[in-house]
Amino acid sequence: MAQKTSPLKTLFDELEETNGDDECKAWLNRAFDSKAELAVFVAGRREGGGTGKYVGFFKGSFNISFRFSFGDGRPDVIIRFPKPGHTATAYRDEKTVNEVQVMEYLRQNTDIPIPRVHSWGLLAESPQHLGPFIIMDYVNGTLLSTILKQPDQDGMVLSPNIDDTTLDKIYYQVAYYIVQLSQLSFASIGAISKDDASSAWHVTGRPLTYNMNELVTVAGYPDDQFPTAPFDRASDYLRSVANEHLIHLWTQRNLADDAEIAQERFIAHPETLQITAVLDFEFTNAMPAEFTYDPPWWLLLSGPEVWLERCAMDEFVTLYEPRMEQFLRALERVETEMALEVKQPGGRSLSTRMRDSWTTGRFWFDYAARKSFDVDTIYWAALHKDGAGIELLDDKARAEMEPFTQIKMEQLKAYEEECTARFSSGDVEDM
């Protein structure tokens, strides 16, 4: 692996991000003003009926959940809405349908602890047209991140003092769930749904991904350029992902601060892309099997791109590899215990495939393929060939680089002028 700290970090389009925040703020005000109506609505959709009492709310990156209790001995419930402005408005119904289907499928085909869904519906069915919703059991518990993170650090950083016995117990449970997930297969790549007549599960929709949502909400990506149907082959899907990165490269106006950075981004993109409850299944799809064969990226809590912005690759590897080995040992224990049930293609174990992914560098390729805003960081730190730059490009690509650089500088100038006009009053509030 190349031992180089990335010089690049893709920033969001501040105009798009502010527009989304403004839309979300206005919607949140409407949602909180509707708490009494929501209590009645939830009671009508919940087994047991009753009169709901508002308890509190939980706000995530893409959703907000309102908790209600009923005093009848049954679990409290939450009603969860995707937040417009943070979830692309055009995708909220699609995202909710996909998530409900995945939750039902996993409840039927695994013993992963999935909260019970009481009811769900689309925008048109919701109170005050607040948006598509899922009403499910509220599950008491502590977030794993709270247990694992270093308490005196901003952001998600795995505590270096975490007890190995605690971590082994957590890794074992997660490994058990991952092995189950690795056994599930579909003939296509995309969103799944159940046929009402046969009760069979199939891939029926395009793969709506986290990356697609981010591109639309904070990069100004033209959403009519996304796929509209499932994929029959992994190669077709990866080709689509490569095209997604390239369109992002050409369309986000503030993607490069100067001509040199624009050229570096141009070089990187084409080369890169040849326990009580498990929650948040949004943007979950049937995906290429090779993604399952990569070791988990979250073993240090924050993703590799966060670490590579603060340290060199060799420092990240020094931190990551011991935790990866600890996780793989837990996975091997699960595989041994489930030997009669676990059947991997080609007879190779999942733990062996994960080690191969890390050794060969496929881990980095697959991770970069799913991360439009971090593909440059990962490319220059992990995939770039030392000493090679423009010379990597063929004649056609070299000819395209100069007009590309000129276009990016023109886009940047127009973007900066709009930002100056928009934010000069200094009255923008933080979320």
Q: With beta carbons less than 8 A apart as the criterion, state whether 66 and 78 touch.
A: yes
Does residue 104 lie in a domain region? yes
Q: With beta carbons less than 8 A apart as the criterion, state whether 162 and 313 touch.
A: no
Q: With beta carbons less than 8 A apart as the criterion, state whether 136 and 46 touch.
A: no
In the prediction, which pLDDT does 230 show?
Answer: 95
Does residue 330 lie in a domain region? no
Least confident of 41-50, 160-169, 344-353, 421-430: 421-430
CA distances from 11 to 242, 252, 281, 377, 388 (A): 19, 10, 26, 12, 25
Give the pLDDT mean for 26-43: 96
| Nearest one of 190, 167, 189 to 296, comparing CA atoms | 167
Checking if the pLDDT of 189 tops 70, the result is: yes
In percent, the amount of the chain with pLDDT more than 90 equals 43
Report DSSP letters for 301-346, one per residue: BS-HHHHHTTS-HHHHHHHHHHHHHHHHHHHHHHHHHTTTT---GG
Does residue 349 lie in a domain region? no
Give the pLDDT mean for 179-187: 92
- What CA–CA distance (Å, rounded) separates 70 from 47? 11
Checking if the pLDDT of 179 tops 80, the result is: yes
Does residue 186 lie in a domain region? no
pLDDT tier at 381, thresholds 50, 70, 90: confident
| Nearest one of 87, 90, 100 to 210, comparing CA atoms | 87
φ/ψ of residue 158, rounded to 5: -60, 130
CA distances from 317 to 2, 3, 132, 168, 256 (A): 12, 10, 42, 20, 28
Which CATH number goes with the domain that contains 91? 3.30.200.20
CA distances from 176 to 139, 205, 206 (A): 21, 28, 28
Q: With beta carbons less than 8 A apart as the criterion, state whether 405 and 259 touch.
A: yes
Q: Which of 144-158, 179-193, 297-311 has the highest mean pLDDT?
A: 179-193
Report the predicted TM-score, pTM, of the whole model to 2 decimal places: 0.80
In the prediction, which pLDDT does 424 show?
Answer: 76
Domain count, the chain: 1
In the prediction, which pLDDT does 271 show?
Answer: 44
In the prediction, which pLDDT does 274 show?
Answer: 33
Checking if the pLDDT of 387 tops 80, the result is: no
In the prediction, which pLDDT does 272 show?
Answer: 39
Collapsed DSSP state (helix, strand, coil) of residue 187: coil
Report DSSP letters for 223-246, one per residue: GGGS--S-BSSHHHHHHHHHHHHH
Give the pLDDT mean for 44-57: 89
Mapping DSSP onto H, E and C, the string for 119-185 reads: EEECHHHCHHHCCCEEEEECCCCCCHHHHHECCCCCCCEECCCCCHHHHHHHHHHHHHHHHHHHCCC
Q: What is the pLDDT of residues 109-123, one digit of tens each?
A: 999 999 999 999 999
Q: What is the pLDDT of residues 256-314, one digit of tens each?
A: 666 666 666 665 574 433 355 566 777 787 888 888 899 999 999 888 888 888 888 88
Q: With beta carbons less than 8 A apart as the criterion, state whether 138 and 77 touch.
A: yes
Does residue 105 lie in a domain region? yes
Report DSSP letters for 338-356, one per residue: TTTT---GGG--HHHHHHH
Give the pLDDT mean for 43-50: 86
Q: How many CB atoms lie within 10 A of CB 315?
A: 14
Tokens found for residue 53: 């009492």
Does residue 284 lie in a domain region? no
In the prediction, which pLDDT does 344 show?
Answer: 59
CA distances from 169 to 125, 280, 329 (A): 42, 22, 12
Question: Tokens 């490319």 — which residue?
Answer: 379
- What CA–CA distance (Å, rounded) separates 267 from 270? 7
Checking if the pLDDT of 418 tops 60, the result is: yes
327 or 141, higher pLDDT? 327
Q: With beta carbons less than 8 A apart as the criterion, state whether 361 and 190 touch.
A: no
pLDDT tier at 6, thresholds 50, 70, 90: very low
In the prediction, which pLDDT does 57 show?
Answer: 95
Q: With beta carbons less than 8 A apart as the criterion, state whether 151 and 159 touch.
A: yes
Give the pLDDT mean for 406-426: 81
Does residue 20 lie in a domain region? no
258 or 151, higher pLDDT? 151
Domain that holds residue 46: 34-139
Does residue 57 lie in a domain region? yes
Enclosing H/E stretch for 118: strand 117-121
Torsion of CA 87, 90, 96, 102, to 10 degrees: -100
- What CA–CA distance (Å, rounded) separates 274 from 246? 12
Least confident of 63-72, 118-127, 268-277, 391-400: 268-277
| Nearest one of 83, 70, 66, 94 to 22, comparing CA atoms | 83
